[in-house]
Amino acid sequence: MTNSMCSPRDNFVVINQLKLHYIEWGSETSDKVLLLHGLTGCATSRAPLP
């Protein structure tokens, strides 16, 4: 496992005047997966992924 796999990167994007937080995990060359959560969830509850 490389360091980039272990180190999440926090980012923000503004869409329709709404500031959204997202976290990138893993290699930039790997396949992409989008996981969404609701108000009672948290991104780190999905870690670690196989």
Are residues 33 and 43 in contact, defined by beta-carbon separation less than 8 angstroms? no
Instruction: Give the pLDDT score at 12.
Output: 93
DSSP symbol at 50? -
Whole-model pTM: value is 0.58
Domain boundaries, the chain: 3-38
pLDDT tens-place string over residues 27-47: 888 888 887 777 777 766 666
pLDDT at 3 over 70: no
Instruction: Give the pLDDT score at 14.
Output: 96
Residue 18 pLDDT class (50, 70, 90 cuts)? very high
